Amino acid sequence: MTYKTPVRDMQFILDHMAGFDAVRQTGAWDDLGPELVTAVLEEVGKLADNVLAPLNQAADEKGASLKDGVVTLPPEFREAYSQYTEGGWGSLAFPEEYGGQDLPQTLALCVSDALFGACIGLSMGFCLTTGAVKALLAHGTEEQKKLYLEKMVSGEWAGTMNLSEPQAGSDLSVIRTKAEPAGDGRYRIKGNKVWISYGEHDLTENICHLVLARLPDAPEGTRGISMFLVPKYHVNEDGSLGERNDVRCTGIEHKLGQHLSPTCQLAFGDNEECYGTLVGKENEGLKNMFVMMNAARIDVGMQAVSVAEHAFQSALAYAQDRTQGRAFGVKSGPQVAIIQHPDVRRQLYTMKALTDASRAICYANMVAHDVAHHSPDLETARLAKEREELLTPVSKGFSSERAIESTSLGIQVFGGMGYVEETGAAQHLRDVRICAIYEGTNGIQAIDLIGRKLGMGGGKLAYDFIAEVKDNADALMASGTGDLEAIGQQLKAEAERLEAVTRWMVEAGGRGKAEDALAGASAYLDQFGYVAGGHYLGKGALVAAGLEEGDRAYHAARIAIARFYADNLLPRAGACATAAMAGEQTVREIDPALLAG
Amino acid sequence: MTYKTPVRDMQFILDHMAGFDAVRQTGAWDDLGPELVTAVLEEVGKLADNVLAPLNQAADEKGASLKDGVVTLPPEFREAYSQYTEGGWGSLAFPEEYGGQDLPQTLALCVSDALFGACIGLSMGFCLTTGAVKALLAHGTEEQKKLYLEKMVSGEWAGTMNLSEPQAGSDLSVIRTKAEPAGDGRYRIKGNKVWISYGEHDLTENICHLVLARLPDAPEGTRGISMFLVPKYHVNEDGSLGERNDVRCTGIEHKLGQHLSPTCQLAFGDNEECYGTLVGKENEGLKNMFVMMNAARIDVGMQAVSVAEHAFQSALAYAQDRTQGRAFGVKSGPQVAIIQHPDVRRQLYTMKALTDASRAICYANMVAHDVAHHSPDLETARLAKEREELLTPVSKGFSSERAIESTSLGIQVFGGMGYVEETGAAQHLRDVRICAIYEGTNGIQAIDLIGRKLGMGGGKLAYDFIAEVKDNADALMASGTGDLEAIGQQLKAEAERLEAVTRWMVEAGGRGKAEDALAGASAYLDQFGYVAGGHYLGKGALVAAGLEEGDRAYHAARIAIARFYADNLLPRAGACATAAMAGEQTVREIDPALLAG
């Protein structure tokens, strides 16, 4: 099916909703003008639209295969991967010192947005490598950096994250993989890991695994976990490849979607000859991994948005092409394109509004990340860091939930054709479904939001955000045009309601009833997401209404999307609010046998 | 995975929510006591639990295959099918004259509920045959009945419905298949049909297709369509099988789910030797088919509920078994079963409450059908007919949307394991996704609800229902217990809001703005469904609270589920209300190129 990188939308959302100017204003980059952004997006769009997107259905149909411990992808994906590395797309936001281009992470996220949308099965693998690069940049030794970073930044070598074990999924405190000093500064790694995305493949000549494991006599729980770099092939001092390390793929999962992406079971040191080196300090592995996981969570939210974008574009094209029925009250004459039917338009608007709202949240999240890391003003940096922390679980949780809804609507627009695999509509739902699960289930995200994030400064992070939303709502209401006023009113009401629920959540701990907050955590995350989405779409509508130049019709579309969201989707925040405050009694414990019917 | 027919829930919902007593009170049956119902459900439960459920994953993995025009199911399904026919399960609600058992359709629906839940891929085929039986009973000639009905009632022969063609899906007015008089009282059928569930298979020795086609010189549009009986094998006068008829399977669809169910492309009369006989009057085929389709729509709603039930039971079992993490604030010690976590319980409660609410709507729908057809009191019958009409699009549309949500939550409870196919969790989502599409997409259901159903008596059908909901809410509020009062208050508020939105919908036509209603139709159907679900769960809770005898713990569970729904799910009706009244401007037409980004 058709896919085209939505450059115009991406740029509008980046500039007028997500506030990319704040990144420019850090002064950390000489030139981040719109021309540069356009050039980057259009260039990556060529790779996405012309190389990756045409392979998306093959990714699903052919998938990865495992034989004798070797994972193989169909050859066309090795070719596509080499075009990705040749374009330097993985190196965008890394230091020039290691061959990178030193651009903002936000721009790298936009690039990922294009690539994820074109072919998630291949491009989800890219962020494993960039994630590993980030971890090594932050915590690697000079030698590790020297030996590994340049080739990982270029994409010549790949990286992975090895956290989960069969008994340790959401709860990593019970990791059992062991690391014993080998006496030569290295460690012998022994254990089994599961759910390792791109844990083994033939895209690159080496794969650099970051592995969580326990040192002998390490403390129990999360504070006894260290991080190790365990390459598939050892690296000689001159940077050339040495012997094969004893890390083996023992199985790949047969999954609902993302068939190209090999989800591996890895065995480390089955023959006691697996060696790795320590990354960061002893027993700080989980803490260090989490820094990287926060970026990964934004990536997952972005993946969800991008796949939903692809689903939307396919559905939109189909709705313009497929004729069926006539307009209301018309009894004869030719059939009309189904986009003429209000209910079909409702479905398309829903997909579009949810996707753009989620995209704006993810972009704003990464803008905050860049500002936090690069603003010379400490207070600006601190506030941005808070915003990054607040939005991360929302980017991941809200975007993935809404993408499931959008891709399912995509099937619905296709009608019966949506249920047959040939159209590709169903693949989007299958591919995106994992985004609600990996990098911490959405339940974990919700607990992070109401626990750790609302816990910072007694809800300050959320109150600051809500204050901005209310200001934005006031500006919309003061604008004097019907659409903007209506958007502003809905937004103001929901912002105030969110403030009240936030207070209830913050105070739940004080009442000694943390379980009340836990029971409503997911509903609160959804509520927060709906309000945030309305906020960003509203910002975009306000800007669109004020723009003198440019494409007026396009600006009218931006307003229509924001208005649709305010009327049709933002009200869901109210329903979430009731659920969020229902308290522990709402999920009271019952003998499961009584529920089983 | 585990599946057990939820006999206790089914009986509780049937008696205390769906009002099965009204069927008993028609006096049309001598014995419909609880013992009979229990006996039927427990007996079908044996077939469902022990024979069908163990085959459910094989249905997905093996599926149907087509070779040289012959569709084959794996042999274990032919064996299971013969157990279904030997038990006489397809004959339950048909006349004794044709070998049936003359029981209410409601009871047949409960039986379907058990079978759908166990293995939807096989059992969805059962209702094609019963649907065809209904059509022949209502419109067949004496000869057709004599030759066909007994063997179709027993299940020895199967039946199908042939409506769609490539250009005629939601809009059947443009059907092109032709029927020409052959001069011997028969008709030559020529044309191509698509989406024919169980259109070809090897479960039975004959398949009796009901086919919509046009006579020569028939009027254009829906009033020029006639119905024909086109058997795979002609039937001799003595009832034995004659020659093969020229109806051939030219393809089966490669679908997201329901892999066992062959979705066929059928070619009629490619060699001009396909003969059929007229069913009902000329040019009344679509009208007659629709009578049958209404029953089929309830069946589809039921299918969705039943698959969601299976998904719920699997998720519940997994959540009791899988250990991960600890209770809030507990830092060490063994991991707990994930059902101990409030957020996981929230997911399970959501699945359970949505499934039971939908089940009650479907059951109540069929109760109304039985009363409409069997009450000796004309006014009672008339009101029941109205209720049946009103609830049918809700049974189909609401149940299927909520089942998509429930089965997706089922994946979420399993975490990463939910994304691998081996656990079976993903299959439920894939299998159920079609329920929102076939037998009229949910958009079509919504238009039926706000158009035809609200159009009857200026909204009378809905107002009558809402009056009952308000009475029920009053009774709940007057009950004096915390849970019931809370449920009653939520229900009363949402009933009043539904009344207001209904008025807005009814008056939209009067304002000359039918498009306003069309734009909000789907949101209105959802709103209606949420309120109806809350109504039935509330009725059940009220009964449970008042029951002196029986299992008190079970009754407490019924109340807890209703309370959960009132707090967490019923509020969504409010969000739907805003969307329902947003009007045509909410889906204003935009140049699609502006939406494409």
Query: How far away is chain B from the Cα of A571, in angstroms, using its nearest Cα?
Result: 5
User: What is the Cα–Cα distance from B506 to B521, expressed in whole angstroms?
Assistant: 11
pLDDT value of position A513 = 85
Asked whether the beta carbons of A115 and A59 are under 8 A apart, the reply is no
Contact list, B353 vs chain A (CB under 8 Å): none
pLDDT value of position B328 = 83
Q: Does A482 touch chain B (CB under 8 A)?
A: no
ipTM reported for the complex surpasses 0.85: yes
B207 Ramachandran zone, left/alpha/beta (phi>0; psi -120 to 50)? beta
Q: Using one digit for the tens of pLDDT, what is the confidence trace for B3-19?
A: 999 999 999 999 999 99
Yes or no, beta carbons of B415 and A169 under 8 Å apart: yes
Question: Which candidate, A211, A220, A315, places its Cα nearest to that of A268?
Answer: A211
User: What is the Cα–Cα distance from B163 to B28, expressed in whole angstroms?
Assistant: 34
Please state, in angstroms and as integers, the Cα–Cα distance from residue B55 to each residue in A377, A435, B44, B47, following that order. 65, 30, 16, 11
What is the 3-class SS of B125-148, one letter each residue?
A: HHHHHHHHHHHHHHHCCHHHHHHH
> Is B439 among the residues known to form the active site?
yes
- Is the per-residue pLDDT at B190 higher than 60? yes
Q: Using one digit for the tens of pLDDT, what is the confidence trace for B110-146?
A: 999 999 999 999 999 999 999 999 999 999 999 999 9
Give the contacts of B423 (CB within 8 A, at least 6 positions apart). B1, B314, B318, B414, B417
Question: Which candidate, A102, A90, A85, places its Cα nearest to that of A132?
Answer: A90
Using only the alpha carbons of chain A, give its radius of gyration: 24
Question: Which candidate, A255, A367, A360, A300, places its Cα nearest to that of A123?
Answer: A300
Contact list, B569 vs chain A (CB under 8 Å): 579
Tokens describing residue B304? 């969705």
Reduce the DSSP state of residue A487 to 3 states and report it. helix
Contact list, B429 vs chain A (CB under 8 Å): 256, 433
Mutate to test the interface with B, among A14, A300, A590, A591 (most CBs of B within 10 A): A590
Yes or no, beta carbons of B10 and A594 under 8 Å apart: no
Yes or no, beta carbons of A557 and B595 under 8 Å apart: yes
Query: How far away is chain B from the Cα of A323, in angstroms, using its nearest Cα?
Result: 8
Beta bridge partners of B197: B263
pLDDT value of position B332 = 83
Beta bridge partners of A228: A211, A278
Q: What is the pTM of this model?
A: 0.98
Q: Per mean pLDDT, which range of A545-559, B398-412, B453-467 is the poorest?
A: A545-559
* Cβ under 8 Å to B: A residues 513-552: 514-515, 518-519, 521-523
Yes or no, beta carbons of B316 and A429 under 8 Å apart: no
Using only the alpha carbons of chain B, give its radius of gyration: 24
Q: Average model confidence (pLDDT) for chain B? A: 96
Q: Which of A171, A255, A309 sits opposite B325 (nearest CB)?
A: A171
Taking residues B520-539, what's their average pLDDT?
Answer: 98
Q: Average model confidence (pLDDT) for chain A? A: 96
Yes or no, beta carbons of B339 and A169 under 8 Å apart: no
Q: Using one digit for the tens of pLDDT, what is the confidence trace for B73-91?
A: 999 999 999 999 999 999 9
Question: Which candidate, B375, B555, B593, places its Cα nearest to that of B8?
Answer: B555
Yes or no, beta carbons of B313 and A221 under 8 Å apart: no
- Is the per-residue pLDDT at B501 higher than 90? yes
Q: Which residues of A are catalytic?
A: 439
Ranges of chain A with pLDDT below 70: 1
Yes or no, beta carbons of A4 and B597 under 8 Å apart: yes
Please state, in angstroms and as integers, the Cα–Cα distance from residue B458 to each residue in A188, A576, B164, B508, B522, following that order. 78, 33, 32, 11, 19
Yes or no, beta carbons of A560 and B174 under 8 Å apart: no
User: What is the Cα–Cα distance from B351 to B340, expressed in whole angstroms?
Assistant: 16
Mutate to test the interface with A, among B172, B588, B591 (most CBs of A within 10 A): B588
One of B150, B165, B439, B499 is an active-site residue; which one? B439
Q: Per mean pLDDT, which range of B265-279, B448-462, B544-558 is the poorest?
A: B544-558
**Domain parsing of chain A, residue ranges:** 443-588
Q: Using one digit for the tens of pLDDT, what is the confidence trace for B531-558?
A: 999 999 999 999 999 887 778 899 999 9
Query: How far away is chain B from the Cα of A424, in angstroms, using its nearest Cα?
Result: 10
Q: What is the DSSP letter of B245?
A: P
Query: How far away is chain A from the Cα of B271, in angstroms, using its nearest Cα?
Result: 28
Beta bridge partners of B196: B264
- Residue B293's pLDDT band, with cuts at 50, 70 and 90, is confident
Q: Does A295 touch chain B (CB under 8 A)?
A: no
Question: Which candidate, A77, A2, A95, A13, places its Cα nearest to that of A541?
Answer: A13
Q: Using one digit for the tens of pLDDT, what is the confidence trace for B302-329?
A: 999 999 999 999 999 999 999 999 988 8
* Cβ under 8 Å to A: B residues 3-62: 4, 6-10
- Is the per-residue pLDDT at B226 higher than 60? yes
Tally Cβ neighbours within 10 Å of residue A326: 17
Yes or no, beta carbons of B313 and A571 under 8 Å apart: no
